[in-house]
Chains A and B, each alone.
Chain A
């Protein structure tokens, strides 16, 4: 089974702090994604990566950056956390052989910015 692991389940940070959310997958998938999930809005794509050191902006990249130095690891960075970035953050991965929309998700990180 594919395993996507997010380093923290719950995180509380202060406004202005730099925040790192880590995600690791163990199935050698090329594609990795960061979403945020908010009530009534569904999942919104922040950034994705289709290869090491490659990144593409999603629908809501403002205030975020990403890093993919190794194939299995995709990090989301909040350069200066703000209260409107309080949300559930979900990491996902996908291989190139399956259906294009079949993603494997991590358990999520609930981030609260105070």
Chain B
């Protein structure tokens, strides 16, 4: 099975940087995914890592270390619209397993 841990909530100020960590245990690893979910809305795909290293996409970056079972999502130059839940998901043996999500609260 898969075990995914991420913090429940993080608070940061507009314009700041926030790093959301995700640790996982899985077999047959085939990718780590980050999704964003605004309150009352569907999750939307943000990023995908299958090899070690950093993937950058505008203000958002995602990092993966397969040997450590660790990923993080970095949100830079925070905006109020970034207030949302961020879901870490791991693909193992063809099954996508989600973490419980990290609620990010951006304050003015």
Q: What is the interface of chain A, defined by CB distance below 8 A to chain B? A: 4, 35, 40-45, 58, 90, 99-108
Residue of B nearest to A41 (CB): B100
Residue among A100, A101, A108 with the most chain B CB within 10 A? A101
Contact present for B33 and A101 (CB under 8 Å): yes
B8 CB contacts on chain A under 8 angstroms? 40
Residue among A40, A90, A103 with the most chain B CB within 10 A? A103
The majority secondary structure among interface residues of chain A is loop
Contact present for A40 and B89 (CB under 8 Å): no
Residue of B nearest to A105 (CB): B42
Q: How many A-B residue pairs have CB under 8 A?
A: 55
Q: What is the interface of chain B, defined by CB distance below 8 A to chain A? A: 4, 8, 30-33, 41-45, 48, 50, 87, 89-91, 94-101
With A42-B87, A43-B87 known as contacts, the answer to whether A100 contacts B42 (CB < 8 A) is: no
Contact present for A99 and B42 (CB under 8 Å): no
The majority secondary structure among interface residues of chain B is strand
Contact present for B91 and A101 (CB under 8 Å): yes
Select B101's contact among A35, A42, A104, A105, beta carbons within 8 Å: A42
Select A101's contact among B4, B31, B99, beta carbons within 8 Å: B31
A43 CA to B43 CA, complexed, in Å: 10
Besides A40-B100, A105-B44, 13 other A-B contacts (C-beta < 8 A): A42-B4, A42-B87, A42-B98, A42-B99, A42-B101, A43-B87, A90-B42, A90-B43, A99-B48, A101-B96, A103-B43, A107-B41, A107-B42
With A42-B99, A101-B31, A101-B33 known as contacts, the answer to whether A106 contacts B42 (CB < 8 A) is: yes
Give the Cβ gap from B56 to chain A, nearest Cβ, in Å: 17
B91 CB contacts on chain A under 8 angstroms? 100-101
A46 CA to B89 CA, complexed, in Å: 16
Residue among B31, B42, B90, B95 with the most chain A CB within 10 A? B42
Give the Cβ gap from B2 to chain A, nearest Cβ, in Å: 10
A58 CB contacts on chain B under 8 angstroms? 95
Contact present for A103 and B45 (CB under 8 Å): yes
A72 CA to B45 CA, complexed, in Å: 21
